[in-house]
Amino acid sequence: MSINMGGVDRVLRTLIGVVLLALVFVGPQTPWGWIGVVPLITGLVGICPLYTLLGIKTCKKS
Domain ranges across the chain: 7-54
Mean pLDDT of 3-24: 95
Q: What is the pLDDT of residue 28?
A: 87
CA distance 61 to 48: 15
Residues 18 and 11: beta-carbon distance below 8 Å: no
Average pLDDT, the chain: 93
Whole-prediction pTM: 0.88
Compute the average pLDDT of residues 19-23. 94
pLDDT of residue 14: 98
pLDDT score for 52: 94
pLDDT of 5 strictly over 90 = yes
Q: Residue 52: which residues within 8 A CB-CB, separation 6 or more?
A: 1, 4
Torsion of CA 14, 18, 19, 20, to 10 degrees: 100
